[in-house]
Amino acid sequence: MNENKKALILLNMGGPRDKDELEMFLRNMFNDKNIITVKSDILRSFIASMIVLSRKNSAWKNYEAIGGSSPINKLTEDLVDKLNKTFEDFEVFQVMRYTPPFAAKCVQQLKQKGIEEVILLPLYPQYSTTTTKSSVEDFMSVAKNDFKVRVIEPFYKNEKFNDKVTNDIISSVEDTKLYNLIFSAHGLPQKIVDAGDPYEKQVNEHVKILSEIFKNKEIEFESISLAYQSKVGPLKWLTPSLEDRLKELKDKNVLIYPIAFIVDNSETMFELHIEYEEIAKELGINEYKVVSCVNDSDEFINVIEELIQ
């Protein structure tokens, strides 16, 4: 056992591997006080149960359309494996918020290995209470004060990261001038933003940074815009919705980049690749393309090396 070894822990939301895990995923997500922000635990639990009952079967059909499980699991495992081969001073783990592997098991492993120093890397470029805060709080509630912990800040301003994102977008089409680039971000209820969540501000900043990089590289698009996906329920959510933005682009070519995700998941592989593509066809979009997340790419591993120095 290397006494000096530290742990790097990747934090993400998780995703179901089968139908039983889908119920677990939905139940845990809607029991999260950062997602359903009512003060009463009993009321939140009741709301979660109602949502699970109403959505489980229809949600499972979505997962069946992408092979019966969320791609987030295999892709994150691949990233962890590559990082463990790259780093000598760190042992790398993953902790998911709503499906295994959970924080409790990870903390147990860290203690067994005698690891005392931990770096937490939330796999979200921008900060939100619903993602970053929720995942960090979850880990810390289990870890107590048993480790020296450092949390990596949101990295949407990181140059190497943004180089990777812009290069992926540019190389996905032959002529960028023929495409309307939409940065699609996971939506949030407006009331969460109004309560002080910085996510919308940071996503807007990120779009500005990426647009400036395109300008500096002398790369032009027909248009560049931001839209929000994944709205559920009757509350007012961040606008414009991706569907509304697509409505403005009839007969045009559209290129989508999932700006709020690092690892492809059901929101990218089902919603963007299947659901919104069908909407785009119905709306008369000429060509519709989605760019993959950075996933376990060598360039993103270089980004992580820089972030944890």
pLDDT digits (tens, 9 = 90+) for 89-115: 999 999 999 999 999 999 999 999 999
Domain that holds residue 73: 6-155+298-307
d(CA 221, CA 36) in angstroms, rounded, equals 38
- The structure tokens listed for 137 are 């709080």
Q: Is the pLDDT of residue 4 over 80?
A: no
CB 19, CB 52: distance < 8 Å:
no
Concatenated DSSP letters of 166-220: HHHHHHTSS-GGGEEEEEEEE--BHHHHHTT--HHHHHHHHHHHHHHHHHHTT--
In the predicted structure, residue 250 carries a pLDDT above the cut 80: yes
Domain identity same for 103 and 222 = no
CB within 8 A of 31, min separation 6: which ones? 44, 45, 48
Q: For the chain, first and last CA: distance in Å? A: 23
Residue 115: what pLDDT?
96
Shared domain check, 175 and 264: yes
Indicate whether 268 belongs to any domain: yes
The alpha helices in the chain, defined as continuous H runs, are 19-30, 41-65, 72-86, 103-112, 134-143, 159-171, 190-194, 199-216, 242-247, 266, 276-283, 298-307
Query: Are 114 and 178 contained in the same domain?
Result: no
The pair of structure tokens assigned to 20 is 């039983």
Same domain flag for 67 and 79: yes
Report the 10 Å Cβ neighbour count for 193: 17
Residue 206 assigned as binding residue:
no
Distance (Å, whole) CA 226 – CA 181: 9
- The predicted pLDDT at position 47 comes to 81
What would the two tokens of residue 278 be? 């069908």
Same domain, 143 and 189: no
Residue 256 forms part of a structural domain: yes
Determine the average pLDDT of the residues in 86-91: 94
Domain membership flag for residue 151: yes
Quick check: is 182 in a domain?
yes
The β-bridge partners of 258 are: 184
Is 1 part of any domain?
no
CATH number at residue 13: 3.40.50.1400
- Of residues 309 and 75, more confidence is placed in 75
294 touches 79 (CB < 8 A): no
Q: Is 252 inside a domain boundary?
A: yes
Residues 110 and 6: their CA atoms lie apart, in Å, by 9
Is residue 285 domain-shared with residue 203, that is, in the same domain?
Answer: yes
**Residue 36: what pLDDT?**
84
Q: How confident is the model at residue 34 (pLDDT cuts 50, 70, 90)?
A: confident
> Tokens in use for 207?
């779009």
What pLDDT was estimated at residue 1? 46
Residue 141 belongs to a domain: yes
On whether both 126 and 171 belong to a single domain, the answer is no
Average pLDDT over residues 227-235: 89
Instruction: Looking at 66-119, list the stretches that DSSP marks H as alpha helix, in order from N- to C-terminal side.
Output: 72-86, 103-112
Task: Give yes or no: residues 87 and 192 share one domain.
Answer: no
- pLDDT, tens digit (0-9, with 9 covering 90-100), for 133-167: 999 999 999 999 999 999 999 999 999 999 999 99
Whether 253 maps to a domain, the answer reads yes
Tell me how many domains the chain contains: 2
Integer Cα distance of 104 and 32 in angstroms: 16
Q: Are 221 and 180 in contact (CB under 8 A)?
A: yes
For 176-198, what is each residue's pLDDT tens digit?
A: 999 999 999 999 999 999 999 99
Q: Do residues 11 and 147 share a domain?
A: yes
| Mean of per-residue pLDDT scores for the chain | 95
Mark residue 96 as left, alpha or beta (left: phi above 0; alpha: psi -120 to 50; beta: remaining): beta
Domain identity same for 145 and 166: no
Q: Distance between CA atoms of 265 and 262, rounded to whole angstroms?
A: 9
Say whether both 188 and 224 belong to one domain: yes
Residues 256, 127, single domain; the answer is no
Residue 186 annotated in ligand binding:
yes
